[in-house]
Structure 1
Amino acid sequence: MISRRNIRVKVMQLLYVLETLEDNTAIKDPVKALQQQFDKSEALFTYIIYFLTEICRFAETDARNRASKNLPSAADMNVNTRIAGNTVLWQILEYGSYQQALETHNIPSLLDRELVKKLYNELIEKKEYHLYTVAEGREKNKEREILKFILNDIMFASELWEAHIEELFNNWEDDGEMLSQMIAAFIQKPDAYNLQQMLGKEKWDFGRNLLTTVREKHDVTLDIIKPKLKNWDPERIAQLDMILMQMGVCEFLFFETIPPKVTINEYIDLAKEYSTPQSGQFVNGILDNIHKELLASGRIQKKEFKKKA
């Protein structure tokens, strides 16, 4: 479920921390630290789903609260709770993998119930919600659509919710886009995902091996990169650019199933997004030059592969 691009981002960030820490013993086990970053992604994914389900289930709380007034109105006695019985919602709630993830990460303890109430009150004013409540039957696509509407147009569109999630999870900025896509797929077919295995063995092996290889081959990659920097002032080269180029060179030499073109494009994109405005062009030029030289010298040996990114 987690993409190789996201894995590269987390490896890049951890390598940067390791390079810039004054106390180089602060992270005693980098591989364990990397695993913890993926655990955070799993926790964030689970919390977003949990928050979504709590908005839906608040309809029943609202109905009880309004019916218990001293002088309830007709509207108070007839709150529509259709959303709380959403069939996809209950497919999620009863899914064992989801329940286990809630417990593993102690997700319910993080919930801001006042924010749930506020977003629920915003939801019930929307025409999309009204149309859902008066629809007949429970067509599966309609059940999914209203959940996606709550996710995208109520939660993700709320500045309050964004501030809340950023306060709880410092990985939201990096993981948000990826997890949003994953959650949309999860809503489509909840029981197709194991929330305890968001990072499969193959991708975990890739991330762990990339991290350890870049560290172990630090001097090797620098010996390859430095001759290409003759026309550049070393002090003006962003440290993150050096890390990205070292990662790229490691993929050229030691990851035989990853096409060099994929490697170059991935690190160009990461340089553009995470480093300086000039970094994309800089990383592109250096990695392309290195790739041609390594290829000509026979040092790049790639297997037949399916395209992976």
Structure 2
Amino acid sequence: MLNRRHIRVKILQTIYAMHQSGSEELEKEEKFLFSSLESIQNLYLIMVSVLMEIRRKEEEFLEIAAKKHLATEKDKNPNKKFIKNRVLVSLDKNNLLADNLEKFKIINWKQNDDMILLLLEETKKSKLYIDYLASKENSFEDDKQFVAKLFEEVIATNDKLFDYLEDFRLTWVDDIPLVNTMFLKQLKTLEESNLFILGIPTLYKDAEDKDFAKDLFRKTVLNEQDLAKEYLDRTPNWDPERISEIDTIMLKMAICEFLRFPSIPIKVTINEYLEIAKEYATPKSSIFINGILDNLVKEYQKTNKLNKTGRGLM
């Protein structure tokens, strides 16, 4: 699920938080970093369970309406296309998902029933839902496309749901797009012959990515003063006191990768931090960081300070 850019962003945020709080407790902050990374799996389960709970709530409403003393013909014979949607039913019957929801104690919607009611209301008044119920099409592909569009256009874009998730865990703000994209990707690959394979995606691509997170965090934090010396004398046109803290942390992390991560190509490091700077720093940050890193690389190459292994890593 995680890519290395997202790992870098989490490390950047953790180091920034350390600076703001004045914390020097490396193990405590490292624990916070990995807690922040691992909680992404909880977020994934919470987002998937939204769909599960919306279907259950609508099924409950239909059952209650059918039992009313003065039930109408529509109440007695409602359109059940939504609650019988093959994909939504498969989520509800997925033992792997059920086990993980219990394992990670995902009970958010049992404690916040009003959010499910709100999302169900938004669902039912959407043109997407109205057209789906009215359509005579009754295929698995139609069901799958409807759920994917419902999640993408109604659920994932709901501001109140976003606010709830942000309030519940602030570190999820940057994780929500990642999780939503991953779920949609999984959803679109579902086949009718194998509906129950959906589970939590693996957090790290491999053990190397987890080691990378730990190593980059530790090597940056433990060597901040030395890493700062690499760029401080090379910013004659920039007042060090006016360089943003986010920029300085990104520079230290990038330089750390240059000097202490022999298997990461120089171009990859530069491109990653330029992209991160565009999203998380000031408008001028990417220009500033690109200039400093480009000059450093040229100097390192002249003095043979870079120790990159493998083809094409320079």
**TM (normalized to structure 1)?**
0.89
- The CA deviation at 1:128 is 2.6
Aligned residue in 1 for 2:256: 250
Q: CA RMSD in A?
A: 2.4
The share of aligned pairs that are identical, in percent, is: 28
Corresponding position of 2:138: 137
Partner of 1:61: 60
Structure-1 separation of matches of 2:136 and 2:121: 20
Match of 1:238 among 216, 232, 244: 244
Aligned residue identity for 2:86:
T
Q: Quickly say closer, same or farther: Cα 1:303–1:83, change in 2 above 3 A.
A: farther
Deviation readout 1:64-118 (Å, 9 max, x if unpaired): 1211222111121222222223222343344444223312332124442222123
Contact 1:257 1:304 in 2 (8 A): yes
Shift of 1:47: 0.3
Question: Is 1:203 aligned with 2:204?
Answer: no
For 1:178, the equivalent position in structure 2 comes to: 178
The counterpart of 1:286, out of the listed 276, 283, 292, is 292
Partners of 1:305 and 1:48 lie apart in 2 by 41
Determine the C-alpha separation between the residues in 1 that align with 2:198 and 2:67.
Answer: 40
1:82 maps onto 2:81 in alignment: yes
**Other-structure match for 2:193:** none
Of residues 117-126 and 270-279 in structure 1, the stretch that sits farther from structure 2 once superposed is 117-126
Q: For the residues of structure 1 that align with 2:260 and 2:22, how far apart are their CA atoms?
A: 29
- Which one-letter code corresponds to 1:222 in the other structure? A
The answer (yes or no) to whether the contact 2:247–2:277 under 8 Å persists in 1 is yes
Task: Measure the CA separation in 2 of the matches of 1:193 and 1:208.
Answer: 29
Matched residue, 1:24? 24
Aligned to 1:98: 97
Tell me if 1:155 matches 2:155. yes
Q: Distance in 2 between matches of 1:97 and 1:23?
A: 40
CA deviations on 1:228-257 (whole Å, 9 max, x unpaired) are: 123321110111111100100111122222
CA contact (8 A) 2:7 2:213 kept: yes
Give a deviation string over 1:98-155, Cα, whole Å, max 9, x none: 223312332124442222123223322334323433434332x322211112212221
Q: What residue number does 1:228 align with? A: 234
Looking at structure 2, the residues matched to 20 and 46 of structure 1 have their Cα atoms a distance apart, in angstroms, of 31
Give the secondary structure class of the aligned counterpart of 2:69: coil
Task: Judge conservation of contact 1:57–1:83 (CA < 8 Å) in 2.
Answer: no
Cα distance between partner residues in 2 of 1:255 and 1:242: 19
Amino acid at match of 1:287: L
Q: Can you list the C-alpha shifts for 1:251-279, whole angstroms capped at 9, x where unaligned?
A: 11222222211211211122222122221
Partner SS for 1:304 = coil
- Secondary structure at 1:20's aligned position in 2? helix
TM-score normalised according to structure 2 size: 0.88
Unmatched tracts of structure 1, length 5 or more = none
TM-fit CA distance, 1:193: 6.2
The partner residue of 2:266 within 254, 260, 263 is 260
Once residues 224 and 122 of structure 1 are traced to their aligned partners in structure 2, the CA distance between those partners, rounded to angstroms, is 54
Between 1:79-88 and 1:190-199, the stretch displaced more is: 190-199
Aligned AA (1:137): N
Q: Tell me how far apart the structure 1 counterparts of residues 305 and 93 of structure 2 sit (CA, whole Å).
A: 53
SS at match of 1:81: coil
Separation in structure 1 between the aligned mates of residue 71 and residue 98 of structure 2, nearest angstrom: 36
